[in-house]
Chain A
Amino acid sequence: MTARRLVGVAAVAATAALPPLLSATGSATYYEHVVVRMMLMGLYAMAWDFLNGFVGLFSFGHAAFFGTGAYVAAMLVVKGGVTSAPVGLVLGVGAAALLGLVVGFFAARVGSVAVFLVTFAFAEAIFLLVLSDPGGLTGGDNGLNGVRVAPMLGLALDDQTTLYYVVLVLLVLAYLGLSALTRTPFGRVLEGIRENEVRIRFAGYRVEAYKTVAFGVSGAVAGLAGVVTAWHEKIASPENVGWALSGDAVLYAVLGGTGTLVGPVLGASLVIAAREVLSEIFRSWLIFVGLTYVALIFFLPQGLYPLFTGKRRRP
Protein backbone atom coordinates (compact mmCIF):
# COMPACT_ATOMS: atom_id res chain seq x y z
CA MET A 1 0.00 0.00 0.00
CA THR A 2 2.67 2.48 1.00
CA ALA A 3 4.83 1.42 -1.95
CA ARG A 4 1.87 2.03 -4.21
CA ARG A 5 1.26 5.42 -2.67
CA LEU A 6 4.94 6.25 -3.20
CA VAL A 7 4.68 5.35 -6.90
CA GLY A 8 1.57 7.51 -7.15
CA VAL A 9 3.25 10.54 -5.58
CA ALA A 10 6.29 10.00 -7.81
CA ALA A 11 4.07 9.85 -10.91
CA VAL A 12 2.30 13.09 -9.97
CA ALA A 13 5.63 14.78 -9.20
CA ALA A 14 7.06 13.63 -12.51
CA THR A 15 4.02 14.96 -14.37
CA ALA A 16 4.37 18.26 -12.52
CA ALA A 17 8.05 18.48 -13.44
CA LEU A 18 7.33 17.81 -17.11
CA PRO A 19 6.49 21.30 -18.52
CA PRO A 20 9.87 22.94 -17.67
CA LEU A 21 11.66 19.89 -19.10
CA LEU A 22 9.50 19.99 -22.22
CA SER A 23 10.38 23.61 -22.88
CA ALA A 24 13.88 22.34 -23.67
CA THR A 25 12.44 20.50 -26.69
CA GLY A 26 11.39 22.55 -29.66
CA SER A 27 7.68 21.68 -29.50
CA ALA A 28 6.74 22.12 -25.84
CA THR A 29 3.29 23.44 -26.74
CA TYR A 30 2.44 20.27 -28.66
CA TYR A 31 3.68 17.89 -25.94
CA GLU A 32 1.90 19.86 -23.25
CA HIS A 33 -1.28 19.73 -25.29
CA VAL A 34 -1.01 15.96 -25.56
CA VAL A 35 -0.35 15.47 -21.84
CA VAL A 36 -3.28 17.73 -20.87
CA ARG A 37 -5.45 15.64 -23.18
CA MET A 38 -4.18 12.44 -21.54
CA MET A 39 -5.05 13.77 -18.09
CA LEU A 40 -8.51 14.99 -19.13
CA MET A 41 -9.33 11.73 -20.89
CA GLY A 42 -7.97 9.91 -17.84
CA LEU A 43 -10.36 11.92 -15.65
CA TYR A 44 -13.22 11.10 -18.00
CA ALA A 45 -12.40 7.37 -18.05
CA MET A 46 -12.01 7.45 -14.27
CA ALA A 47 -15.62 8.63 -14.05
CA TRP A 48 -16.66 5.66 -16.19
CA ASP A 49 -14.60 3.31 -14.04
CA PHE A 50 -16.29 4.54 -10.89
CA LEU A 51 -19.57 3.31 -12.34
CA ASN A 52 -18.31 0.11 -13.89
CA GLY A 53 -15.59 -0.94 -11.49
CA PHE A 54 -17.41 -0.11 -8.28
CA VAL A 55 -21.11 -0.47 -9.06
CA GLY A 56 -20.91 -2.92 -11.97
CA LEU A 57 -22.88 -0.67 -14.33
CA PHE A 58 -21.64 -0.73 -17.92
CA SER A 59 -22.37 2.65 -19.48
CA PHE A 60 -21.97 3.15 -23.19
CA GLY A 61 -23.13 6.73 -23.16
CA HIS A 62 -20.57 8.59 -21.10
CA ALA A 63 -19.90 10.99 -23.94
CA ALA A 64 -23.32 12.47 -23.15
CA PHE A 65 -22.06 13.65 -19.74
CA PHE A 66 -18.69 14.77 -21.09
CA GLY A 67 -20.38 16.57 -23.98
CA THR A 68 -22.93 18.23 -21.72
CA GLY A 69 -20.09 19.69 -19.66
CA ALA A 70 -18.23 20.81 -22.77
CA TYR A 71 -21.27 22.33 -24.46
CA VAL A 72 -22.58 24.11 -21.38
CA ALA A 73 -19.13 25.64 -20.79
CA ALA A 74 -18.88 26.63 -24.47
CA MET A 75 -22.44 27.99 -24.72
CA LEU A 76 -21.90 30.19 -21.68
CA VAL A 77 -18.85 31.82 -23.25
CA VAL A 78 -19.77 31.86 -26.95
CA LYS A 79 -23.54 32.37 -26.81
CA GLY A 80 -24.01 33.94 -23.40
CA GLY A 81 -20.86 36.03 -23.16
CA VAL A 82 -20.29 34.71 -19.63
CA THR A 83 -16.55 34.14 -19.39
CA SER A 84 -16.48 33.48 -15.66
CA ALA A 85 -14.77 30.13 -15.04
CA PRO A 86 -16.51 29.32 -11.71
CA VAL A 87 -19.92 29.83 -13.36
CA GLY A 88 -18.86 27.51 -16.19
CA LEU A 89 -17.66 24.90 -13.72
CA VAL A 90 -20.78 24.99 -11.57
CA LEU A 91 -23.27 25.01 -14.45
CA GLY A 92 -21.33 22.55 -16.63
CA VAL A 93 -20.71 20.03 -13.88
CA GLY A 94 -24.21 20.61 -12.49
CA ALA A 95 -25.88 19.97 -15.85
CA ALA A 96 -23.83 16.80 -16.39
CA ALA A 97 -24.67 15.58 -12.88
CA LEU A 98 -28.35 16.24 -13.49
CA LEU A 99 -28.22 14.34 -16.76
CA GLY A 100 -26.42 11.57 -14.91
CA LEU A 101 -29.29 11.37 -12.44
CA VAL A 102 -31.86 11.27 -15.26
CA VAL A 103 -30.02 8.57 -17.22
CA GLY A 104 -29.35 6.75 -13.96
CA PHE A 105 -33.03 6.81 -13.07
CA PHE A 106 -33.77 4.71 -16.15
CA ALA A 107 -30.58 2.68 -16.20
CA ALA A 108 -31.12 1.66 -12.57
CA ARG A 109 -34.41 0.05 -13.48
CA VAL A 110 -33.26 -2.34 -16.21
CA GLY A 111 -31.03 -5.41 -16.21
CA SER A 112 -27.26 -5.17 -16.41
CA VAL A 113 -26.86 -5.71 -20.15
CA ALA A 114 -29.80 -3.43 -20.89
CA VAL A 115 -27.92 -0.61 -19.11
CA PHE A 116 -25.65 -0.61 -22.15
CA LEU A 117 -28.63 -0.18 -24.48
CA VAL A 118 -30.31 2.55 -22.44
CA THR A 119 -27.17 4.65 -21.95
CA PHE A 120 -26.23 4.28 -25.61
CA ALA A 121 -29.71 5.31 -26.74
CA PHE A 122 -29.64 8.33 -24.40
CA ALA A 123 -26.25 9.46 -25.65
CA GLU A 124 -27.23 9.07 -29.30
CA ALA A 125 -30.41 11.08 -28.74
CA ILE A 126 -28.34 13.87 -27.20
CA PHE A 127 -25.82 13.61 -30.03
CA LEU A 128 -28.63 14.04 -32.58
CA LEU A 129 -30.02 16.94 -30.57
CA VAL A 130 -26.63 18.68 -30.59
CA LEU A 131 -26.23 18.07 -34.34
CA SER A 132 -29.68 19.50 -35.10
CA ASP A 133 -28.50 22.83 -33.63
CA PRO A 134 -31.64 23.69 -31.62
CA GLY A 135 -32.24 27.45 -31.69
CA GLY A 136 -28.72 27.97 -33.05
CA LEU A 137 -27.36 27.12 -29.59
CA THR A 138 -24.93 24.30 -30.38
CA GLY A 139 -23.59 25.35 -33.78
CA GLY A 140 -24.53 22.00 -35.37
CA ASP A 141 -21.70 20.26 -37.23
CA ASN A 142 -19.26 23.10 -36.62
CA GLY A 143 -19.61 23.15 -32.87
CA LEU A 144 -18.87 26.25 -30.82
CA ASN A 145 -15.52 27.89 -31.44
CA GLY A 146 -13.62 30.44 -29.36
CA VAL A 147 -14.17 29.23 -25.80
CA ARG A 148 -11.94 31.60 -23.86
CA VAL A 149 -12.56 31.94 -20.14
CA ALA A 150 -11.49 34.72 -17.81
CA PRO A 151 -8.82 34.06 -15.16
CA MET A 152 -9.99 32.32 -11.98
CA LEU A 153 -8.28 32.97 -8.64
CA GLY A 154 -5.50 34.72 -10.51
CA LEU A 155 -4.89 31.73 -12.78
CA ALA A 156 -4.93 32.48 -16.51
CA LEU A 157 -6.89 29.44 -17.67
CA ASP A 158 -6.37 30.15 -21.35
CA ASP A 159 -2.63 29.76 -20.84
CA GLN A 160 -1.81 26.13 -21.56
CA THR A 161 0.92 25.69 -18.96
CA THR A 162 -1.31 27.13 -16.24
CA LEU A 163 -4.16 24.88 -17.35
CA TYR A 164 -1.74 21.94 -17.28
CA TYR A 165 -1.26 22.35 -13.55
CA VAL A 166 -4.94 23.04 -12.93
CA VAL A 167 -5.85 19.80 -14.71
CA LEU A 168 -3.20 17.87 -12.78
CA VAL A 169 -4.64 19.15 -9.50
CA LEU A 170 -8.19 18.34 -10.61
CA LEU A 171 -7.16 14.83 -11.60
CA VAL A 172 -5.50 14.18 -8.24
CA LEU A 173 -8.47 15.67 -6.36
CA ALA A 174 -10.94 13.58 -8.37
CA TYR A 175 -8.94 10.44 -7.64
CA LEU A 176 -8.73 11.18 -3.93
CA GLY A 177 -12.41 12.15 -3.82
CA LEU A 178 -13.68 9.12 -5.67
CA SER A 179 -11.51 6.65 -3.78
CA ALA A 180 -12.58 8.24 -0.49
CA LEU A 181 -16.17 7.88 -1.65
CA THR A 182 -15.70 4.16 -2.23
CA ARG A 183 -14.62 3.78 1.40
CA THR A 184 -17.72 5.50 2.82
CA PRO A 185 -20.81 3.46 3.79
CA PHE A 186 -22.38 4.73 0.54
CA GLY A 187 -19.46 3.37 -1.47
CA ARG A 188 -19.61 0.04 0.35
CA VAL A 189 -23.26 -0.36 -0.61
CA LEU A 190 -22.33 0.37 -4.23
CA GLU A 191 -19.66 -2.34 -4.16
CA GLY A 192 -22.18 -4.64 -2.54
CA ILE A 193 -24.54 -4.03 -5.45
CA ARG A 194 -21.77 -5.07 -7.83
CA GLU A 195 -21.05 -8.25 -5.91
CA ASN A 196 -24.60 -9.34 -5.08
CA GLU A 197 -27.43 -7.02 -5.95
CA VAL A 198 -30.19 -9.29 -4.66
CA ARG A 199 -28.56 -9.59 -1.27
CA ILE A 200 -28.17 -5.82 -0.93
CA ARG A 201 -31.81 -5.43 -1.88
CA PHE A 202 -32.87 -7.86 0.84
CA ALA A 203 -30.65 -6.07 3.32
CA GLY A 204 -33.10 -3.19 2.90
CA TYR A 205 -31.16 -0.83 0.65
CA ARG A 206 -32.95 0.90 -2.19
CA VAL A 207 -30.70 -0.32 -4.96
CA GLU A 208 -32.29 1.91 -7.62
CA ALA A 209 -31.64 5.06 -5.60
CA TYR A 210 -28.01 4.08 -5.01
CA LYS A 211 -27.43 3.34 -8.68
CA THR A 212 -29.08 6.62 -9.69
CA VAL A 213 -26.86 8.65 -7.36
CA ALA A 214 -23.78 6.76 -8.58
CA PHE A 215 -24.71 7.76 -12.13
CA GLY A 216 -25.01 11.37 -10.94
CA VAL A 217 -21.53 11.29 -9.38
CA SER A 218 -20.00 9.68 -12.45
CA GLY A 219 -21.81 12.15 -14.71
CA ALA A 220 -20.48 15.08 -12.68
CA VAL A 221 -16.86 13.91 -12.97
CA ALA A 222 -17.22 13.20 -16.70
CA GLY A 223 -18.85 16.62 -17.05
CA LEU A 224 -15.90 18.23 -15.25
CA ALA A 225 -13.57 16.64 -17.80
CA GLY A 226 -15.83 18.02 -20.54
CA VAL A 227 -15.87 21.58 -19.16
CA VAL A 228 -12.10 21.75 -18.87
CA THR A 229 -11.64 20.09 -22.28
CA ALA A 230 -13.75 22.85 -23.86
CA TRP A 231 -11.51 25.44 -22.17
CA HIS A 232 -8.40 23.60 -23.27
CA GLU A 233 -9.36 22.94 -26.89
CA LYS A 234 -11.20 26.30 -27.08
CA ILE A 235 -14.02 24.48 -28.85
CA ALA A 236 -16.96 22.19 -28.17
CA SER A 237 -17.65 19.94 -31.14
CA PRO A 238 -20.09 17.09 -31.88
CA GLU A 239 -17.17 14.67 -31.40
CA ASN A 240 -17.46 15.47 -27.69
CA VAL A 241 -20.89 13.80 -27.65
CA GLY A 242 -20.33 11.06 -30.26
CA TRP A 243 -20.49 7.34 -29.52
CA ALA A 244 -16.80 6.97 -30.38
CA LEU A 245 -16.00 8.97 -27.24
CA SER A 246 -18.31 6.73 -25.21
CA GLY A 247 -16.33 3.80 -26.59
CA ASP A 248 -13.05 5.52 -25.68
CA ALA A 249 -14.01 5.55 -22.00
CA VAL A 250 -14.50 1.79 -22.16
CA LEU A 251 -11.23 1.28 -24.01
CA TYR A 252 -9.14 3.40 -21.64
CA ALA A 253 -10.63 1.83 -18.53
CA VAL A 254 -10.55 -1.78 -19.74
CA LEU A 255 -6.99 -1.37 -21.02
CA GLY A 256 -5.76 0.22 -17.80
CA GLY A 257 -7.76 -2.02 -15.49
CA THR A 258 -11.26 -1.46 -14.17
CA GLY A 259 -12.09 -0.96 -10.51
CA THR A 260 -8.79 0.82 -9.91
CA LEU A 261 -9.56 4.49 -10.81
CA VAL A 262 -5.85 4.90 -11.71
CA GLY A 263 -5.91 2.27 -14.44
CA PRO A 264 -8.12 4.37 -16.72
CA VAL A 265 -5.60 7.24 -16.56
CA LEU A 266 -2.85 4.82 -17.52
CA GLY A 267 -5.01 3.42 -20.34
CA ALA A 268 -5.91 6.88 -21.63
CA SER A 269 -2.25 7.95 -21.65
CA LEU A 270 -1.16 4.86 -23.56
CA VAL A 271 -3.94 5.02 -26.16
CA ILE A 272 -3.49 8.75 -26.76
CA ALA A 273 0.27 8.33 -27.13
CA ALA A 274 -0.31 5.44 -29.55
CA ARG A 275 -2.88 7.50 -31.46
CA GLU A 276 -0.43 10.39 -31.87
CA VAL A 277 2.17 8.04 -33.32
CA LEU A 278 0.01 5.63 -35.31
CA SER A 279 -2.48 8.03 -36.87
CA GLU A 280 0.47 9.71 -38.61
CA ILE A 281 1.60 6.45 -40.15
CA PHE A 282 -1.63 4.58 -40.78
CA ARG A 283 -4.91 6.33 -41.50
CA SER A 284 -7.06 3.35 -40.50
CA TRP A 285 -5.46 3.17 -37.09
CA LEU A 286 -8.90 2.52 -35.55
CA ILE A 287 -8.34 -1.08 -36.66
CA PHE A 288 -5.77 -1.30 -33.86
CA VAL A 289 -8.35 0.03 -31.40
CA GLY A 290 -10.78 -2.68 -32.45
CA LEU A 291 -8.15 -5.39 -32.23
CA THR A 292 -7.09 -4.09 -28.81
CA TYR A 293 -10.64 -4.51 -27.54
CA VAL A 294 -10.72 -8.14 -28.69
CA ALA A 295 -7.22 -8.99 -27.47
CA LEU A 296 -7.80 -7.39 -24.06
CA ILE A 297 -10.91 -9.38 -23.28
CA PHE A 298 -9.29 -12.66 -24.29
CA PHE A 299 -5.81 -12.26 -22.93
CA LEU A 300 -5.86 -9.47 -20.36
CA PRO A 301 -9.41 -9.07 -19.00
CA GLN A 302 -8.10 -7.36 -15.85
CA GLY A 303 -6.18 -4.74 -17.80
CA LEU A 304 -2.63 -3.57 -17.31
CA TYR A 305 -2.89 -2.33 -13.73
CA PRO A 306 -2.66 -5.74 -11.99
CA LEU A 307 0.58 -6.36 -13.91
CA PHE A 308 2.12 -3.47 -12.00
CA THR A 309 0.76 -4.29 -8.57
CA GLY A 310 1.31 -8.02 -8.97
CA LYS A 311 -2.02 -9.01 -7.49
CA ARG A 312 -5.31 -9.82 -9.08
CA ARG A 313 -8.46 -8.14 -7.93
CA ARG A 314 -11.11 -10.70 -8.78
CA PRO A 315 -10.78 -14.22 -10.20
Chain B
Amino acid sequence: MAIVLQVLNGLTIGAIYILLAAGLTIVFGLQGIVNVAHGVFYMLGAYLGIGLTPTLGFPLTLVVAFAVNAALGLLLEVAAIRPLVRWKRDGMQVLVVTLGVAIVASEVAKLIWGPVPRTSDIPDGLTGLITIGPIVYPTYWLFVMAFTAALMGGLALAFHRTTLGIIVQSIALDSEVSQAMGTNAPRVNSLVFALGTGVAGVAGVLAGPILSVYPTMCFDLLMILFVVVILGGLGSLAGVVVAGILVGQVTAFGVAYLSGTAGTILAFAAMIAVLVFRPLGLFGRAGILK
Protein backbone atom coordinates (compact mmCIF):
# COMPACT_ATOMS: atom_id res chain seq x y z
CA MET B 1 0.00 0.00 0.00
CA ALA B 2 2.91 2.30 0.69
CA ILE B 3 3.75 2.15 -3.00
CA VAL B 4 0.23 3.20 -4.04
CA LEU B 5 0.47 6.16 -1.66
CA GLN B 6 3.78 7.19 -3.23
CA VAL B 7 2.24 6.96 -6.69
CA LEU B 8 -0.57 9.25 -5.52
CA ASN B 9 1.92 11.67 -3.94
CA GLY B 10 3.82 11.70 -7.20
CA LEU B 11 0.65 12.45 -9.15
CA THR B 12 -0.22 15.36 -6.86
CA ILE B 13 3.21 16.95 -7.10
CA GLY B 14 3.25 16.14 -10.81
CA ALA B 15 -0.06 18.00 -11.18
CA ILE B 16 1.55 21.18 -9.84
CA TYR B 17 4.51 20.71 -12.20
CA ILE B 18 2.16 20.23 -15.15
CA LEU B 19 0.17 23.40 -14.42
CA LEU B 20 3.38 25.44 -14.16
CA ALA B 21 5.24 23.90 -17.06
CA ALA B 22 2.24 24.24 -19.40
CA GLY B 23 2.59 28.03 -19.60
CA LEU B 24 6.37 27.85 -20.08
CA THR B 25 6.20 25.32 -22.87
CA ILE B 26 3.35 26.94 -24.84
CA VAL B 27 5.08 30.32 -24.76
CA PHE B 28 8.25 28.66 -25.97
CA GLY B 29 6.37 26.93 -28.76
CA LEU B 30 4.84 30.21 -29.92
CA GLN B 31 7.65 32.71 -29.52
CA GLY B 32 10.79 30.64 -28.93
CA ILE B 33 11.43 32.36 -25.59
CA VAL B 34 11.78 31.17 -22.01
CA ASN B 35 10.16 33.29 -19.34
CA VAL B 36 12.35 33.03 -16.25
CA ALA B 37 9.81 35.14 -14.35
CA HIS B 38 7.19 32.40 -14.74
CA GLY B 39 7.80 31.29 -11.16
CA VAL B 40 6.93 34.79 -9.93
CA PHE B 41 3.29 34.23 -10.87
CA TYR B 42 3.32 30.93 -9.02
CA MET B 43 4.71 32.68 -5.94
CA LEU B 44 2.19 35.51 -6.23
CA GLY B 45 -0.64 33.00 -6.57
CA ALA B 46 0.51 31.23 -3.42
CA TYR B 47 0.61 34.46 -1.39
CA LEU B 48 -2.77 35.51 -2.80
CA GLY B 49 -4.08 32.11 -1.70
CA ILE B 50 -2.87 32.69 1.86
CA GLY B 51 -4.22 36.23 1.98
CA LEU B 52 -7.56 35.88 0.22
CA THR B 53 -8.91 32.40 0.96
CA PRO B 54 -10.12 33.30 4.51
CA THR B 55 -12.19 36.24 3.23
CA LEU B 56 -13.17 35.33 -0.33
CA GLY B 57 -13.43 31.59 0.00
CA PHE B 58 -11.49 29.08 -2.04
CA PRO B 59 -13.29 29.08 -5.44
CA LEU B 60 -13.34 32.85 -5.72
CA THR B 61 -9.67 33.01 -4.67
CA LEU B 62 -8.79 30.71 -7.57
CA VAL B 63 -10.63 33.02 -9.95
CA VAL B 64 -9.01 36.16 -8.52
CA ALA B 65 -5.54 34.58 -8.59
CA PHE B 66 -6.05 33.65 -12.22
CA ALA B 67 -7.28 37.13 -13.15
CA VAL B 68 -4.56 39.03 -11.27
CA ASN B 69 -1.74 36.89 -12.59
CA ALA B 70 -3.08 36.88 -16.13
CA ALA B 71 -3.31 40.69 -16.00
CA LEU B 72 0.25 41.02 -14.67
CA GLY B 73 1.48 38.49 -17.22
CA LEU B 74 -0.15 40.51 -19.97
CA LEU B 75 1.57 43.63 -18.65
CA LEU B 76 4.96 41.90 -18.64
CA GLU B 77 4.48 40.56 -22.15
CA VAL B 78 3.28 43.81 -23.67
CA ALA B 79 5.73 46.08 -21.84
CA ALA B 80 8.92 44.03 -21.82
CA ILE B 81 8.81 41.04 -24.15
CA ARG B 82 6.86 42.25 -27.18
CA PRO B 83 9.26 45.18 -27.85
CA LEU B 84 12.28 42.86 -27.70
CA VAL B 85 10.65 40.43 -30.09
CA ARG B 86 9.68 43.28 -32.42
CA TRP B 87 13.24 44.64 -32.39
CA LYS B 88 14.37 41.13 -33.37
CA ARG B 89 16.60 40.87 -30.31
CA ASP B 90 17.71 37.31 -29.62
CA GLY B 91 16.02 35.00 -27.12
CA MET B 92 18.83 35.46 -24.59
CA GLN B 93 17.82 39.04 -24.00
CA VAL B 94 14.32 37.97 -23.02
CA LEU B 95 15.93 35.57 -20.56
CA VAL B 96 18.00 38.33 -18.99
CA VAL B 97 15.07 40.76 -18.75
CA THR B 98 12.71 38.19 -17.20
CA LEU B 99 15.48 37.11 -14.82
CA GLY B 100 15.77 40.74 -13.73
CA VAL B 101 12.01 40.93 -13.21
CA ALA B 102 12.09 37.72 -11.18
CA ILE B 103 14.89 39.00 -8.93
CA VAL B 104 13.06 42.28 -8.28
CA ALA B 105 9.76 40.48 -7.61
CA SER B 106 11.38 38.02 -5.22
CA GLU B 107 13.08 40.82 -3.26
CA VAL B 108 9.87 42.86 -3.11
CA ALA B 109 8.01 39.76 -1.87
CA LYS B 110 10.67 39.40 0.85
CA LEU B 111 10.05 43.02 1.90
CA ILE B 112 6.26 42.58 1.98
CA TRP B 113 5.82 39.08 3.40
CA GLY B 114 9.17 38.43 5.07
CA PRO B 115 11.60 35.61 4.35
CA VAL B 116 9.99 33.02 6.65
CA PRO B 117 8.25 30.14 4.82
CA ARG B 118 4.51 29.73 5.38
CA THR B 119 1.84 27.28 4.35
CA SER B 120 -1.80 28.04 3.70
CA ASP B 121 -4.65 26.08 5.27
CA ILE B 122 -6.53 23.44 3.34
CA PRO B 123 -9.79 25.10 2.23
CA ASP B 124 -13.03 24.22 4.04
CA GLY B 125 -14.87 21.30 2.53
CA LEU B 126 -11.68 19.71 1.23
CA THR B 127 -10.13 18.85 4.57
CA GLY B 128 -10.11 15.32 5.89
CA LEU B 129 -9.35 12.00 4.28
CA ILE B 130 -11.03 9.80 1.71
CA THR B 131 -11.03 6.04 2.06
CA ILE B 132 -10.96 4.06 -1.19
CA GLY B 133 -10.77 0.39 -0.30
CA PRO B 134 -7.60 -0.08 1.71
CA ILE B 135 -6.20 3.34 0.79
CA VAL B 136 -6.69 6.42 2.95
CA TYR B 137 -5.70 9.66 1.25
CA PRO B 138 -6.15 13.40 1.90
CA THR B 139 -9.17 14.78 0.03
CA TYR B 140 -7.39 17.98 -0.91
CA TRP B 141 -4.56 16.18 -2.69
CA LEU B 142 -7.07 14.19 -4.75
CA PHE B 143 -8.85 17.45 -5.52
CA VAL B 144 -5.61 18.96 -6.86
CA MET B 145 -5.19 16.00 -9.22
CA ALA B 146 -8.80 16.15 -10.42
CA PHE B 147 -8.66 19.92 -10.86
CA THR B 148 -5.45 19.68 -12.91
CA ALA B 149 -6.86 16.90 -15.06
CA ALA B 150 -9.98 18.99 -15.75
CA LEU B 151 -7.99 22.15 -16.49
CA MET B 152 -5.54 20.42 -18.81
CA GLY B 153 -8.41 18.62 -20.54
CA GLY B 154 -10.10 21.97 -21.05
CA LEU B 155 -6.88 23.47 -22.42
CA ALA B 156 -6.41 20.58 -24.83
CA LEU B 157 -10.00 20.97 -26.04
CA ALA B 158 -9.52 24.72 -26.43
CA PHE B 159 -6.36 24.20 -28.49
CA HIS B 160 -7.86 21.60 -30.79
CA ARG B 161 -11.53 22.58 -31.04
CA THR B 162 -11.80 26.38 -30.97
CA THR B 163 -10.93 28.87 -33.68
CA LEU B 164 -8.51 30.68 -31.39
CA GLY B 165 -6.87 27.35 -30.56
CA ILE B 166 -6.37 26.57 -34.23
CA ILE B 167 -4.89 30.05 -34.73
CA VAL B 168 -2.48 29.43 -31.85
CA GLN B 169 -1.41 26.16 -33.45
CA SER B 170 -0.85 27.84 -36.78
CA ILE B 171 1.36 30.47 -35.17
CA ALA B 172 3.36 27.78 -33.39
CA LEU B 173 3.83 26.01 -36.70
CA ASP B 174 4.89 29.05 -38.69
CA SER B 175 4.36 32.52 -37.33
CA GLU B 176 5.04 34.38 -40.58
CA VAL B 177 2.79 32.28 -42.79
CA SER B 178 0.08 32.46 -40.16
CA GLN B 179 0.29 36.25 -40.11
CA ALA B 180 0.21 36.35 -43.89
CA MET B 181 -3.13 34.55 -43.59
CA GLY B 182 -4.37 37.44 -41.47
CA THR B 183 -3.85 36.34 -37.88
CA ASN B 184 -2.73 38.91 -35.35
CA ALA B 185 0.18 36.90 -33.95
CA PRO B 186 1.45 39.47 -31.42
CA ARG B 187 -2.00 39.77 -29.86
CA VAL B 188 -2.51 36.00 -29.75
CA ASN B 189 0.96 35.57 -28.25
CA SER B 190 0.13 38.07 -25.51
CA LEU B 191 -3.16 36.31 -24.76
CA VAL B 192 -1.52 32.90 -24.53
CA PHE B 193 1.27 34.33 -22.37
CA ALA B 194 -1.36 35.77 -20.01
CA LEU B 195 -3.21 32.46 -19.97
CA GLY B 196 0.01 30.72 -18.93
CA THR B 197 0.80 33.14 -16.11
CA GLY B 198 -2.83 32.98 -14.94
CA VAL B 199 -2.62 29.19 -14.72
CA ALA B 200 0.69 29.55 -12.86
CA GLY B 201 -1.14 31.75 -10.32
CA VAL B 202 -3.82 29.09 -9.92
CA ALA B 203 -1.07 26.50 -9.41
CA GLY B 204 0.32 28.73 -6.66
CA VAL B 205 -3.01 28.80 -4.82
CA LEU B 206 -3.34 25.03 -5.18
CA ALA B 207 0.23 24.36 -4.04
CA GLY B 208 -0.04 26.60 -0.95
CA PRO B 209 -1.35 23.91 1.42
CA ILE B 210 0.98 21.24 0.01
CA LEU B 211 4.35 22.95 -0.43
CA SER B 212 5.73 25.81 1.59
CA VAL B 213 5.36 29.41 0.45
CA TYR B 214 8.40 31.72 0.56
CA PRO B 215 9.88 34.57 -1.52
CA THR B 216 12.54 32.59 -3.37
CA MET B 217 10.13 29.79 -4.32
CA CYS B 218 9.90 31.43 -7.72
CA PHE B 219 13.46 30.23 -8.40
CA ASP B 220 13.58 26.97 -6.50
CA LEU B 221 11.01 25.24 -8.66
CA LEU B 222 12.53 26.51 -11.92
CA MET B 223 15.07 23.72 -12.27
CA ILE B 224 12.49 20.97 -11.97
CA LEU B 225 10.18 22.85 -14.34
CA PHE B 226 12.94 23.12 -16.91
CA VAL B 227 13.50 19.38 -16.53
CA VAL B 228 9.78 18.77 -17.16
CA VAL B 229 9.72 21.08 -20.15
CA ILE B 230 12.87 19.63 -21.76
CA LEU B 231 11.88 16.05 -20.99
CA GLY B 232 8.46 16.54 -22.57
CA GLY B 233 9.88 18.33 -25.59
CA LEU B 234 9.91 22.12 -25.73
CA GLY B 235 6.62 23.46 -27.00
CA SER B 236 4.61 20.30 -26.44
CA LEU B 237 1.57 20.37 -24.14
CA ALA B 238 1.14 16.58 -24.22
CA GLY B 239 4.85 16.24 -23.44
CA VAL B 240 4.43 18.40 -20.36
CA VAL B 241 1.65 16.16 -19.06
CA VAL B 242 3.61 12.95 -19.54
CA ALA B 243 6.90 14.43 -18.27
CA GLY B 244 5.13 16.10 -15.32
CA ILE B 245 3.67 12.78 -14.21
CA LEU B 246 7.02 11.05 -14.75
CA VAL B 247 9.02 13.65 -12.83
CA GLY B 248 6.37 13.74 -10.09
CA GLN B 249 6.76 9.98 -9.63
CA VAL B 250 10.55 10.11 -9.61
CA THR B 251 10.47 12.96 -7.07
CA ALA B 252 7.97 11.22 -4.79
CA PHE B 253 9.82 7.90 -4.77
CA GLY B 254 13.19 9.61 -4.38
CA VAL B 255 11.94 11.57 -1.37
CA ALA B 256 10.31 8.50 0.16
CA TYR B 257 13.07 5.96 -0.27
CA LEU B 258 16.29 7.96 -0.63
CA SER B 259 16.45 11.61 0.45
CA GLY B 260 14.86 14.99 -0.25
CA THR B 261 17.34 16.00 -2.91
CA ALA B 262 17.77 12.52 -4.38
CA GLY B 263 14.38 12.76 -6.10
CA THR B 264 15.31 15.98 -7.85
CA ILE B 265 18.70 14.64 -8.90
CA LEU B 266 17.06 11.45 -10.22
CA ALA B 267 14.60 13.54 -12.24
CA PHE B 268 17.57 15.41 -13.64
CA ALA B 269 19.30 12.13 -14.52
CA ALA B 270 16.13 11.06 -16.34
CA MET B 271 16.28 14.26 -18.37
CA ILE B 272 19.90 13.61 -19.33
CA ALA B 273 19.06 10.03 -20.32
CA VAL B 274 16.23 11.20 -22.56
CA LEU B 275 18.38 13.95 -24.08
CA VAL B 276 21.00 11.39 -25.11
CA PHE B 277 18.53 9.30 -27.06
CA ARG B 278 16.01 11.96 -28.07
CA PRO B 279 17.59 15.42 -28.06
CA LEU B 280 14.19 16.97 -28.76
CA GLY B 281 12.56 15.40 -25.71
CA LEU B 282 9.77 12.84 -25.58
CA PHE B 283 7.26 14.77 -27.71
CA GLY B 284 9.47 17.42 -29.29
CA ARG B 285 9.18 18.11 -32.99
CA ALA B 286 12.10 19.01 -35.21
CA GLY B 287 12.12 22.63 -36.22
CA ILE B 288 10.35 23.93 -33.17
CA LEU B 289 13.50 23.78 -31.07
CA LYS B 290 15.08 27.00 -32.18
Q: Residues of A at under 8 Å CB distance from B?
A: 52, 58, 60, 106, 109-114, 116-118, 120-122, 124-125, 128-129, 131-132, 243, 247, 250, 254, 284, 286-287, 289-294, 296-298, 301
Cα separation A109 to B272 with both chains bound (whole Å): 12
Which residue of chain B has the shortest Cβ distance to A129 in the bound complex?
B265
Q: Is the CB of A121 within 8 A of B290?
A: no
Cα separation A128 to B107 with both chains bound (whole Å): 23
Cα separation A290 to B97 with both chains bound (whole Å): 8
Say how far A113's CB is from chain B's closest CB, in angstroms. Answer: 4
Q: Is the CB of A110 within 8 A of B275?
A: yes
B8: chain A residues at CB < 8 Å are none
Which residue of chain B has the shortest Cβ distance to A251 in the bound complex?
B96
Nearest 9 pairs of A and B residues by beta carbon: A293-B100, A290-B103, A290-B104, A124-B223, A111-B289, A294-B100, A125-B268, A128-B261, A117-B226
Which residue of chain B has the shortest Cβ distance to A122 in the bound complex?
B268
Say how far B235's CB is from chain A's closest CB, in angstroms. Answer: 10
Q: Is the CB of A290 within 8 A of B275?
A: no
Q: Is the CB of A121 within 8 A of B95?
A: no
Number of B residues near A (Cβ < 8 Å) is 49
Task: Kindly state whether residue B99 has any CB partner on chain A within 8 Å.
Answer: yes
Cα separation A122 to B110 with both chains bound (whole Å): 27
Q: Is the CB of B265 within 8 A of A291?
A: no
Q: Is the CB of B107 within 8 A of A284?
A: yes
Cα separation A52 to B91 with both chains bound (whole Å): 13
Q: Which of A109, A131, A298 contacts B261 (CB 8 A)?
A: A131
Q: Which of A124, A125, A294 contacts B97 (CB 8 A)?
A: A294
**Binary interface encoding of chain B residues 231-264 relative to chain A, with 1 for a CB under 8 A from any of its CBs, else 0:** 0001000000000000000000000000101101
Say how far A270's CB is from chain B's closest CB, in angstroms. Answer: 16
Say how far A147's CB is from chain B's closest CB, in angstroms. Answer: 24
B222: chain A residues at CB < 8 Å are 120
**Max count, chain B CB within 10 A of own CB: residue among A116, A121, A125, A254:** A121
